[in-house]
């Protein structure tokens, strides 16, 4: 759940929850998106998110709940970018098969298979979204029925990699082609784990209380970037544990962390406040692009930023619309994909866009 598709109440809830004064030193979003050239829209309708490139940079795998496709909740699709760009009639391939709720897909090293998480073993139907609690706090559901699967590009399940109770999701692959990185509650908290491509040799690599997730490897596979919540006060800890026991988490206070691929040399990169999430390494491995609302006086205004791995040089990347997130560079570093509310005709649709990247 690197964030799954945005729930309808998201706008109102974050307006209420994340209101704060803008820090005087925070860079304002740019007047022009100078790093993005030749922007193309590749999905058209519904909530479309977490679009990640194939090894040859020709395909994207993503999740969608587009009602025009008869969907009631998120399912995994794969699109050929050259055919999808600017084409509202293009229909991507359904990879997850339409059962249960799915999230967090990623191409396997061969470019012919996709890994994703699904609740389909528990039920064919979509599990319910979490209720809004008194006070309007925005919550994510951590479904304990999520398990990790591999499917081919025709949607045939070829392997189930996890099968024990608890949340197993948010899986990505190392560029070295040897490890899967994912988030799991199997040790009692939302921690990062690695495993071999066959699901064996499981290893926990984070251990601090809080939600560790949305993790990705650096281009050479030596480092990991992820988002994390770190409850500190007794009240924060009590609330976090209470929500987790109900399969819920409040993602309104997160920062970006980096560590070595084995979990060593842990360091916090951002100290911006509010929600900093959806991080991904720049092709140089020296910077991180991520989504943040730290600059917003109203809460719901997520823009892309870039920062050095030493925590310096914060730079705004986007300025269009009030939601930009899930950035991912193609493996050759020439393109970027992300999700945005731009060009949605005044609806709440979130679509996937691609652009040429200009350093």
Report the alpha-carbon distance of residue 54 to residue 332 in Å, rounded.
11
Q: Beta partners for 107?
A: 114
Confidence (pLDDT) at 135:
62
> Are 114 and 150 contacting, i.e. CB atoms less than 8 angstroms apart?
yes
What string of DSSP letters covers 221-238?
SSEEEEEE----SHHHHH
Q: Is the dihedral of CA 137, 143, 144, 149 positive or negative?
A: negative
Question: What is the DSSP pairing of strand 93-94 with strand 75-80?
Answer: antiparallel
Helix and strand element counts for the chain (H, E): 3, 26
Nearest Cα residue to 284 out of 351, 329, 317: 329
Confidence (pLDDT) at 1:
52
| Cα 129–chain centre separation | 17
Confidence (pLDDT) at 7:
38
| Cα 215–chain centre separation | 8
Confidence (pLDDT) at 31:
56
Assign domain 10-349 to a CATH class: mainly beta
Tens-binned pLDDT, residue by residue, of the chain (359 aa) = 544 444 333 333 343 343 333 333 445 444 589 999 999 999 999 999 999 999 999 999 999 999 999 999 999 999 999 999 999 999 999 999 999 999 999 999 999 999 999 999 999 999 988 776 656 678 899 999 999 999 999 999 999 999 988 999 999 999 999 999 999 999 999 999 999 999 999 999 999 999 999 999 999 999 999 999 999 999 999 999 999 999 999 988 999 999 999 999 999 999 999 999 999 999 999 999 999 999 988 767 999 999 999 999 999 999 999 999 999 999 999 999 999 999 999 999 999 999 999 99
Confidence (pLDDT) at 14:
42
Which H or E run includes 337? Answer: strand 335-340
Q: Would you list the domain boundaries of the chain? A: 10-349
> Are 352 and 66 contacting, i.e. CB atoms less than 8 angstroms apart?
no
Report the alpha-carbon distance of residue 333 to residue 242 in Å, rounded.
42
Show Cβ contacts of residue 188 under 8 Å, excluding neighbours closer than 6 positions.
none
């Amino acid at each position: 759940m690197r964030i799954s598709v945005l729930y309808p109440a998201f706008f109102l809830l974050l307006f209420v929850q994340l209101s704060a004064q803008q820090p005087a030193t925070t860079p304002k979003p740019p007047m022009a998106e100078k790093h993005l050239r030749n922007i193309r829209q590749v999905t058209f309708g519904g909530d479309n998110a977490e679009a990640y490139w194939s090894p040859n940079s020709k395909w994207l795998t993503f999740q969608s709940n587009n009602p025009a496709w008869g969907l009631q909740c998120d399912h995994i699709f794969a699109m050929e970018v050259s055919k999808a760009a600017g084409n509202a009639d293009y229909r991507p391939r359904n990879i997850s098969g339409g059962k249960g709720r799915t999230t967090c897909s990623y191409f396997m090293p061969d470019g012919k298979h996709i890994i994703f998480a699904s609740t389909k073993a528990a039920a064919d139907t979509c599990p319910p979204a979490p209720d809004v609690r008194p006070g309007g706090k925005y919550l994510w559901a951590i479904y304990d029925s999520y398990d990790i699967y591999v499917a081919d590009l025709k949607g045939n399940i070829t392997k189930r990699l996890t099968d024990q109770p608890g949340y197993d999701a948010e899986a990505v692959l190392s560029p070295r082609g040897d490890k899967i990185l994912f988030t799991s509650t199997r040790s009692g908290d939302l921690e990062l784990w690695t495993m071999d491509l066959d699901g064996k040799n499981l290893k926990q690599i984070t251990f601090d209380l809080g939600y560790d997730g949305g993790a990705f490897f650096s281009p050479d596979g030596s480092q990991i970037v992820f988002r994390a919540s770190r409850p500190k006060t007794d009240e924060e800890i009590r609330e976090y544990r209470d929500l987790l026991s109900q399969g819920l988490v409040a993602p309104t206070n997160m920062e970006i962390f980096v560590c070595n691929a084995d979990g060593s040399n842990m360091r916090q990169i951002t100290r911006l406040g509010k929600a900093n999430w959806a991080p991904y390494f720049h092709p140089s491995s020296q910077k991180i692009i991520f989504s943040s609302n730290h600059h917003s006086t109203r809460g719901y205004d997520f823009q892309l930023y870039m920062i050095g791995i030493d925590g310096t040089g914060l730079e705004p990347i986007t300025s269009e619309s009030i939601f930009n997130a899930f950035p991912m560079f193609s493996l050759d570093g020439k393109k970027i994909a992300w999700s945005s509310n731009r060009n949605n005709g005044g609806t709440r649709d979130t679509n996937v866009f691609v652009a040429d990247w200009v350093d």
